[in-house]
Amino acid sequence: METVVTLSNKCLASLTLVTQTVLDDGIWRTFGFKRRPQSRRIFDRLRNARQIEREVAVWREIVAASFAAIFRWAVSRQNFHHGVIFLARLMEFCIDGPDGADVSIWKCQRFASRQDAIEFLTQACIDYSASDQPDQPRVMLQRLSTALRMDISSLPVTWVAGAASVFSHPDSAVFNVVRIMTEIGPDQEQENDIVLNDLKCHYAIMRVVTRSNSAIPDDEPEDLE
């Protein structure tokens, strides 16, 4: 029996672009870390608080840059009729994790609330969409400096290489976002089977889309019970 690949399934498949980037030890090494930091908190008290803060900032920003790259791809697609609800569901995945996840991602990333995580990804879409591709590393560094309350010139020198690697290394999923998303093909789906858990992510995406020159038509989410 042939498996039907729905828009919802393609949305979940698109999440792998984000997770692949944030789990890539090579990306973390370009930022000067030995490997990808683990999310376990039990040993946090044994480590320097400033180091933890930097790890969390980079982790959040890699997710933000990856999600924003998909957002930029989506709004460039002509006739992506379900683009808004697709992006809203993908935002839910990036914040909450796939359905049935033991711990919400926003809690692991130390956001004070789920709404703070939504606003973080929303602002990322605004920031990255306002700049051309060659300026994306600079946007990442500026956002990191703001998050850490540091002057951009005071960031670790390795972070310059890290930011460049996210957007230009040939093995980076973000660098290959057009190819990957074209292969997944969510914009080719004519039917929408996505049901959002709430409307906050949908409103957030609409807020960004309506202020841009997006090719995505307005769409309505499924009614929530």
In order, the DSSP letters of 156-209 are: -HHHHHHHHHHHH-TT-TTTTHHHHHHHH-GGG--S-----S-SHHHHHHHHHH
> Helices 49-75 & 136-147, crossing angle to 10 degrees?
140
| d(C-alpha 155, C-alpha 148), whole Å | 9
Q: Assess whether pLDDT exceeds 60 at residue 63.
A: yes
Instruction: Please compute, for residue 37, the number of CA atoms within 13 A of its CA located in the half-sphere on the CB side.
Output: 22
> pLDDT tens-digit profile of 177-204?
999 999 999 999 999 999 999 899 999 9
Q: What is the pLDDT of residue 45?
A: 55
Instruction: Name the helix (H) or strand (E) containing 94.
Output: helix 83-96
Tell me the two tokens of residue 69: 């790259």
Furthest-apart CA pair in the chain: how many Å? 58
> Helices 114-129 & 49-75, crossing angle to 10 degrees?
60
Q: What is the pLDDT of residue 183?
A: 96
Q: What is the pLDDT of residue 225?
A: 45
Task: Please give the residue that has the higher pLDDT: either 49 or 164.
Answer: 164
**Average pLDDT score, the chain:** 89
Q: How many CB atoms lie within 10 A of CB 171?
A: 10
> How much of the chain exceeds pLDDT 90, in percent?
76
> pLDDT tens-digit profile of 106-126?
998 999 999 999 999 999 999
Q: What is the pLDDT of residue 54?
A: 92
> Helices 7-22 & 49-75, crossing angle to 10 degrees?
140
Cβ pair 144, 159 in contact under 8 A: yes
Q: Report the amino acid identity of residue 217.
A: P
In order, the DSSP letters of 97-144 are: -STT-SS-HHHHTT-SSHHHHHHHHHHHHHHHHTS-GGGHHHHHHHHH
Q: Report the amino acid identity of residue 170.
A: P
| d(C-alpha 200, C-alpha 187), whole Å | 22
